[in-house]
Amino acid sequence: MTDHEATPSPEEMLRLIEQQQTAAMRRFLPDPLLMYVPWGVSWFIGFGTLFLGQGLQGDGNGLLPITWQVGLAVLWGTQIIAFVLMIIALLRSGGHIKGESETRGAMYGLAWFVGFNAMGVIAARFVPHLQEDTIGPFYTSLFMLVAGLLYMAGGAIYRLWPQFLLGVWVMVVDVVGTVLGGGWIYLLLAVLGGGGAVTTGLWLRRQR
């Protein structure tokens, strides 16, 4: 065998490096289907349920006789499932690595848990002073503000622009829905927020 035959060409070397990088990404980054799609489905179901019960005016005269309490229960229930699936994805990715990267994933998962629990305590403090028709939007806007910030933080941690931009998108939709008032926040977050999360998960999965 000659030296020319034994030595890979520059094109082959580049292809080998790209394959190794792709394999490393698949191994070390959390599964995007578990990181994003469950949240998108949760928002579509949860906020969709709230919208069906509250309507565009947010006065409880929606398409179905669903109270905002029931809607929030559906939303929180589906989000707990999404959170568990996200933690599974983080643990799976952390199982392949030790040290700084493992700690980073654990801290990011803990940030979601602490952030949402802190939000719940703070919101509960002010709920008694709110009118009943503003309680649902109040919880919703706060929750999605925290979610948007956490997605932006995750994008910075993992250097993923799609995740960072999803956080920006969620916050923009949240602000627009809050400004429009009524049940618009539920409709926009169900369709645009949920759709954005599912699209991001599928796109990142395809890139892997």
Is residue 132 predicted with pLDDT exceeding 80? yes
* 20 in a structural domain: no
Mean pLDDT of 52-81: 91
Mean confidence (pLDDT) of the chain? 85
pLDDT for the residue numbered 6: 55
* 13 in a structural domain: no
Q: How many domains does the chain have?
A: 1
Mean pLDDT of 8-21: 60
* 18 in a structural domain: no
- Report DSSP letters for the chain, one per residue: --HHHHSPPHHHHHHHHHHHHHHHHHHHSPPHHHHTHHHHHHHHHHHHHHHHHHTTTTSS-SSS---HHHHHHHHHHHHHHHHHHHHHHHHHHHTT--THHHHHHHHHHHHHHHHHHHHHHHHHHHGGGS-HHHHHHHHHHHHHHHHHHHHHHHHHHHT-HHHHHHHHHHHHHHHHHHHH-TTHHHHHIIIIIHHHHHHHHHHHHHH-
Structure confidence at residue 162 as a pLDDT band (50, 70, 90)? very high
* 19 in a structural domain: no
The CA distance from 166 to 53, in Å, is: 27
Structure confidence at residue 11 as a pLDDT band (50, 70, 90)? low
The CA distance from 42 to 119, in Å, is: 18
Is residue 111 predicted with pLDDT exceeding 80? yes
* 75 in a structural domain: yes
The C-alpha torsion from 167 through 197 and 190 to 184, rounded to 10°, is 30
* 7 in a structural domain: no
Print the domain residue range for 96: 30-207
Structure confidence at residue 17 as a pLDDT band (50, 70, 90)? low
pLDDT for the residue numbered 72: 87
Structure confidence at residue 8 as a pLDDT band (50, 70, 90)? low
* 188 in a structural domain: yes
* 108 in a structural domain: yes
Mean pLDDT of 62-75: 90
pTM across the whole model:
0.82
pLDDT for the residue numbered 23: 47
